[in-house]
Amino acid sequence: MSVPARSWGVLIVLCGAIFLEGIDVAMLNIALPAIRADLGLSTGMLSGVVSAYVLGYGGFMLLGGRAADLLGRRRMFLLWLVVFLVFSGLGGFADEGWVLLLARFVTGVAAAFLTPAGLSLITTTFPEGRLRNQALLIYAGTAAGGFALGLVAGGLLTAIGWRWVFFAPVLMSLLILIAAVPLIREPVREDRPAGGFDVMGAVTITGAMMLLAYGVVRLEHPADGWPLTVAAFAGGLALVAAFTAVERRSASPLVRLGLLRSATLIRANVMAVMLTASFFGFQFLVTIYLQELRGWSTIQTGLALLAAAVDVVIAPVLTPWLVNRFGSARVVLGGLLSGLLAYALFLGVGLDWTYAAMLPSMLLIGLMFAFVYGPVTIVATDGVAEHEQGLAGGLINSSFQFGAALGLSMVTAVNVAALGGGTDPEAGLAAMRTALLVPVTATLLGALVAVSALRPRTRDRALSAA
């Protein structure tokens, strides 16, 4: 089946948007020390700059996905791309910490609406099957490549001035917006959802997601006010229960609960959490190792991690053939096993390791992303009705985001606990090796879930239609 040339143009624009989201996060992470030095921010305020984005992104992602289904995917994509542009620019002009907090929170909210709208535009533009799979794999590879290249770009821009870490996404957003307006059209809707907007459902699930995201972020500080962390999780779970009760009674539910009874969907989202938890945790530890224990510069660190971006080439070229030949479940399992080997090899890291000794782990991580990120996205959206594609996109992107926050929080907590009061390089290395068990464990759990996906399944489609 052929696809109009316009559809491939739309894919390029949407890939640009997901690349923008990935590079934006990565560049800011590299620039944080320079921002603190220039603005005199406390450690808590600096951590808040990162957490604000996580709260906005994680808190509103599910609502953003459903809004794309109900209010129009093109409309949501363009509107929130403009919001992303404006508030990224605001961050670049910030002279006080609270302005950065506001800018990053709203930017996160914008990404929460922008990302599922973009994903659902792909799944409704390309017919289900080989062409959609190819488009999703290209999209996924671009997303991962954005983060990897952002580490290098962030180092280069920070060397010029940290404000360019905010201004560069403004220029990219503007170019994407100029291309998107004439290219993207609202998909023809044959099964538009009936009924009104579920306000109570939106309020309860957004509150739940924000509290759970806040709880995850606070895991980085296990000894700093643990009652507040417990309260955040308890409040989040209570709102999830309230949301479930609301949806059961709603004539036009925000989330059809039958969709969440699909074992395939649940497995895909669990594997998504484990994938990003392992990678972002590992990336954080490697950054500490290279910069604090080895004295490498930000640019050298970014270049060292660049090898993991090999998925940008593999994802659109090799992964589609593997998925068509062996199926998504086997490809995902192979990718997770590649990641497990990568992290296991790095457990033996020493203070005198050459980059050649690190390179196999970096390349294997690239294979993991190439074989997991895209195929998991395919599984999470495959067989979902068109009018729920935005919701499915919101779910899988929420899982990716929560996984990243969980991985960062857990490795930070374990690293701090293992370090104790030690300050010498050997103590730091020992603590890092202990914290590396977090990505190893996360990847192992993901692989076990992937193994369970290889079992015969006959009920999922019936459940998703219930």
Residue-level pLDDT, tens digit, the chain, 466 residues: 556 778 889 999 999 999 998 888 888 877 877 888 888 887 667 777 877 887 888 788 878 888 888 888 899 999 999 999 999 999 999 999 899 999 999 999 999 999 989 988 998 888 877 888 888 888 887 887 787 778 788 888 888 889 999 999 999 999 999 999 999 987 665 555 555 567 788 788 888 888 888 888 777 666 566 788 889 889 989 998 998 898 888 777 777 777 777 888 889 999 999 998 998 889 888 888 888 888 888 778 878 888 887 877 888 788 888 988 998 889 999 999 999 999 999 999 999 999 999 999 999 998 998 899 889 988 888 877 777 777 788 888 888 888 888 888 888 888 888 887 667 888 889 999 999 999 999 999 999 999 987 765 544 443 344 4
DSSP class of residue 222? T
> Locate tokens 């990716």: which residue?
400
Give pTM, 2 decimals. Answer: 0.82
CATH number, domain 259-456, options 1.20.1250.20, 1.20.59.10, 3.30.1490.20, 3.40.50.300:
1.20.1250.20
How confident is the model at residue 75, as a pLDDT? 92
Burial of 67 (C-beta count, 10 Å sphere; 0-12/13-18/19+): buried
With a CB cutoff of 8 Å and minimum separation 6, the contacts of 116 are: 61, 64, 65, 68, 390, 391, 393, 394, 397
The per-residue pLDDT for 464 is: 41
CA dihedral (61, 403, 18, 328) in degrees, to 10, reads: -110
Q: Which residues of 411-420 are buried (b: 16+ CB within 10 A; e: fewer)?
A: bbbbbeebbe
Q: How many residues does the chain have?
A: 466
At 34, the amino acid letter reads A
* pLDDT value, residue 265: 86
Taking a C-beta distance cutoff of 8 angstroms, is the pair 343, 457 a contact? Answer: no
Within 13 Å, how many C-alpha atoms sit on residue 136's CB side? 32
Question: By C-alpha distance, which of 300, 279, 225 is closest to 440?
Answer: 279
For the chain, the structural domain boundaries read: 1-184, 259-456
Domains 1-184 and 259-456 share a fold: yes
d(CA 217, CA 286): 20
**Region 1-184: CATH code:** 1.20.1250.20
Per-residue model confidence (pLDDT) at position 193: 54
